[in-house]
Each structure stands twice: as structure tokens, then as C-alpha cells.
């Protein structure tokens, strides 16, 4: 592993030599929970069921890479959400979910440079689709909670592409999106914080860890440990 260099306080790089040219890239892919946004949505939904501590412990272990079967860990957490109302999902979105600092600024800068923007998440469509519309993102893929009579059933719904968006599916989604827009994976940027982001980060030309778990930070070409997501722009030439 190439040794890392502190490019600026809270911003380290390894294996790259800034300044880079943002227009050399064609796609930026964001993880959602704790990357693009400030919360782990599943943990906040669990709060309504009085099970936040239990669910958050599983989430933390999964993100640190201590649970290798992400799909099973997600099914376990979703099962604990049974009976939570759709209104509580709306409350989480309205009252608890915030964009992380610099998120909107980075998205706008990337779009201005001609990049397409992908949100690919092990979280839920209820939030990902709202964020897609709010930020005018080009693509979004995430997991769909089953809701019957306004309540969560504790299950996930299969979608046309498969059952659960785990690390392998994040990687496949990034690769398929590159193919769709006619670029190589080397022209993609992938940003994440947890172990289930490592596979997509591994195939992208530029991998970025945002306030990430140690395992993720160690493998990323860029690590942002202080400040907002838009600190990534410090590595690129001015327009």
C-alpha cells in the first residue's frame, strides 16, 4: 500500500498526485447514509420501535466490516422495524435527515463539470428517491421497504435488478452506469464511509473515504476526515 500524504489538514491522499482535472471524470457515485447525509436511516427508523440501540449495533458492526454478510445483517435490522408507520419515515426525512456539509456544493460542481451523479445505497428508496429529486441526481439505487396499510412489514421487496443492494451490487451498479454513459470505471469517482462501499471504491478510478471507518480510510485514495464533502474539490484544478 502506498503511504498516505496529508495534502491539507484533514485531507490525505495516497497513490495520486494532485492537482487533478475534474473534467477527466464522467461519473461520481455517492453512498447515502453517513456519506451524502448525516444519519443511518435504518437506525433512526428503529428509534420508533424502541430498538435503536439494537439496530445501531448491527449497523456499526456491518459498516466496520465485522459482519461479512451484509444482506443478512440488513434483513435482521429490517425485521426489527415491523410495525413502524410510514409517517415515522416522513418524520425521519423531515426532522432528522440532513445533507452532510458540502454535499450540495460538490454535486453542483460535478454536474457543472459534466459528470453524471449516482446515488447507490444499502439504505432505502423512501429516502434515496427523495434525495435524487431534491439534488437532481441522475441515477439512484437502493432497497425497498415493504409497506402494507401504512406500516412496515419487516421485509424488503425484490426489485428488477435483484433483492438487496449490498457491496457487490454497489460495484455492479457503478460498472453498469459507466457502461450506460459510455465511460470507463477509471473515469468514475466513488465516495463512501463503510465496508459495503469498498467493492465499488475498488473499481473506481478515484476512491474517496468520507469520515470513514478505519478499514475504508486505509484503502481509499483520498480520505476526508475534517470539513465537508466539497473538500474533495481542493484536489482539482480551478476551472
Helix 52-63, helix 70-79: angle, nearest 10: 170
**What pLDDT score was predicted for residue 2?**
63
Strand duo 11-13 + 206-210: pairing: unpaired
Tens-place pLDDT, residues 177-235: 999 999 999 999 999 999 999 999 999 999 999 999 999 999 999 999 999 999 999 99
Residue 239 binned pLDDT confidence (cut-offs 50, 70, 90): low
Give pLDDT tens digits for 92-107. Answer: 999 999 999 999 999 9
Under CATH, what is the fold of the domain 5-38+100-235? Rossmann fold (3.40.50)
| Cα gap 37→73, rounded to integer Å | 21
Asked if the model's pLDDT at residue 1 lies above 60, the reply is no
The three cell numbers locating residue 18? 494532485
Q: In the predicted model, is pLDDT for residue 120 greater than 90?
A: yes
DSSP strands (E only) in the chain: 5-8, 11-13, 27-30, 116-124, 139-148, 151-157, 188-192, 206-210, 222-224
The residue annotated as part of the active site, out of 24, 31, 133, 138, is 31
Contact 213, 195 (CB under 8 A): yes
Does the annotation mark 33 as catalytic? yes
Report the C-alpha gap between 175 and 172 in whole angstroms. 5
* 149 labelled catalytic: no
Contact 117, 133 (CB under 8 A): no
Structure confidence by residue, pLDDT tens digits, 26-80: 999 999 999 999 999 999 999 988 999 999 999 999 999 999 899 999 999 999 9
This prediction's pTM: 0.96
Check residue 101 and give its pLDDT. 98
Q: What is the pLDDT of residue 3?
A: 81
pLDDT of residue 106: 98
Q: What is the pLDDT of residue 215?
A: 95
For residue 141, the model assigns a pLDDT of: 98
What SS3 state is found at 160? coil
Confidence at residue 223, expressed as pLDDT on a 0 to 100 scale: 98
Catalytic residue, chosen from 24, 33, 166, 225, is 33
Pick 60 or 239 by higher pLDDT: 60
Q: Where are the domains positioned within the chain? A: 5-38+100-235
Amino acid at each position: 500500500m502506498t503511504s498516505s500524504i496529508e495534502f491539507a489538514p484533514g485531507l490525505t491522499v495516497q497513490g495520486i498526485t494532485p492537482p487533478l482535472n475534474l473534467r477527466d471524470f464522467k461519473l461520481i457515485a455517492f453512498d447515502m447514509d453517513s456519506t451524502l447525509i448525516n444519519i443511518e436511516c435504518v437506525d433512526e427508523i428503529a428509534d420508533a420501535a424502541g430498538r435503536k440501540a439494537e439496530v445501531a449495533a448491527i449497523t456499526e458492526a456491518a459498516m466496520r466490516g465485522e459482519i461479512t454478510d451484509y444482506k443478512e445483517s440488513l434483513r435482521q435490522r429490517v425485521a426489527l422495524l415491523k410495525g413502524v408507520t410510514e409517517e415515522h419515515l416522513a418524520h425521519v426525512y423531515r426532522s432528522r435527515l440532513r445533507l452532510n456539509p458540502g454535499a450540495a456544493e460538490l454535486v453542483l460542481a460535478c454536474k457543472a463539470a459534466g459528470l453524471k451523479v449516482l446515488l447507490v445505497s444499502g439504505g432505502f428508496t423512501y429516502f434515496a428517491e427523495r434525495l435524487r429529486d431534491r439534488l437532481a441526481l441522475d441515477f439512484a439505487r437502493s432497497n425497498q421497504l415493504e409497506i402494507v396499510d401504512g406500516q412496515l412489514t419487516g421485509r424488503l421487496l425484490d426489485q428488477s435488478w435483484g433483492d438487496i443492494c449490498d457491496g457487490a451490487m454497489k460495484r455492479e451498479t457503478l460498472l453498469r452506469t459507466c457502461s450506460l454513459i459510455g465511460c470507463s470505471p477509471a473515469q468514475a469517482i466513488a465516495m463512501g464511509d463503510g465496508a459495503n462501499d469498498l467493492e465499488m471504491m475498488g473499481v473506481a478510478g478515484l476512491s474517496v473515504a468520507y469520515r470513514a471507518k478505519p478499514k475504508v480510510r486505509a484503502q481509499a485514495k483520498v480520505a476526508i476526515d475534517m470539513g465537508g464533502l466539497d473538500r474533495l474539490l481542493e484536489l482539482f484544478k480551478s476551472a
